[in-house]
Structure 1
């Protein structure tokens, strides 16, 4: 799959093998995983598995997370975008599209999660013609909570995600 979505400061494109170093930096950082169950990766082989998994999602489902590239520098700064979840039950849903993002720590606080998330929602509603998107965040992650609200999602409820033993928040946005 090839994606090429531009915002004012970002380029969202398909994840590639060349994103391995950035993916490792992202997911090996314990601060990034603070609200994700505290399970950072330890090897580049694990980062490659993540990339391969997303590429397989592109092939199987026609969508998966996008690489987020800072246009000013050309740097990989994380991922954002749409995913079709079919792996597990989340707040009573077993098959749904969600919007999400994860950024390398030095890019936090610059509005990139909101900017890339808005572009992903636009793509989902205008290109994919999806009727609704969902999102989750750990209940204590106020930065992500604020970003999801700025993207346009509405908070629905808190719930306990048994599989990862996390207290999560559930969000929803409808295509109007």
Structure 2
């Protein structure tokens, strides 16, 4: 199931193989990986494999991360979306995670908030998910602020590999419990 998610300034669509260059530019920047374990990409082939894994998520789960594009310029600035997590994380398995990552040149312009809010609304209103989770490195003030601003509640901390992260949860307010 392929669709385009749209906001006032952004278009979000499924990844294509040709998105590898834009993703490599973003993910080879050490600043982008500051809160992700400091492992920026060094070869564009790593993006090719990443895009294939996301495309497999679409096929397997009907959802995954989407490329984020500025409508006005058609520039790819990052990714955002809902991912179905099948591996254990913070004592959870088989859950939906909201995530995003943007090129440094597009930080602090409201794109992260805009994309995250759109995906949260899509997850609750279209997918009818009862709960969505999210994580952010404890020191990533921007990401933590976005998650709190769209309504996520911090429900503890956990180690994601060797990174201390905040764990967020949000119940679908449209579903009766």
**Interval of TM-score (by shorter of Structure 1 and Structure 2):** over 0.9
1:143-162 matches, within 5 Å, as 143-161=142-160
Aligned to 2:45: 45
Aligned to 1:96: 95
Q: How far is the alpha carbon of 1:156 from its aligned partner?
A: 1.0
Matched positions, count: 173
RMSD of Structure 2 on Structure 1 (CA): 0.9
Deviations 1:118-137 (A, max 9, x none): 00011111111110000001
Q: How far is the alpha carbon of 1:95 from its aligned partner?
A: 1.6
Alpha-carbon distance in structure 1 between the residues aligned to 2:30 and 2:168: 25
Deviations 1:35-70 (A, max 9, x none): 001111111100111111000000011110011000
Aligned to 1:62: 62
- TM-score (norm: length of structure 2): 0.95
- Is the partner of 1:92 in helix, strand or coil? coil
Query: What 5-or-longer segments of structure 2 have no aligned partner?
Result: none
- Is the partner of 2:66 in helix, strand or coil? strand
| Divergent runs of 4+, >2 A | none
- Is the partner of 1:129 in helix, strand or coil? coil
- Is the partner of 1:124 in helix, strand or coil? helix
Alpha-carbon distance in structure 2 between the residues aligned to 1:123 and 1:8: 15
- Is the partner of 1:134 in helix, strand or coil? strand
Deviations 1:48-103 (A, max 9, x none): 1111100000001111001100011100000001000113x211102210001000
Q: How far is the alpha carbon of 1:108 from its aligned partner?
A: 0.3
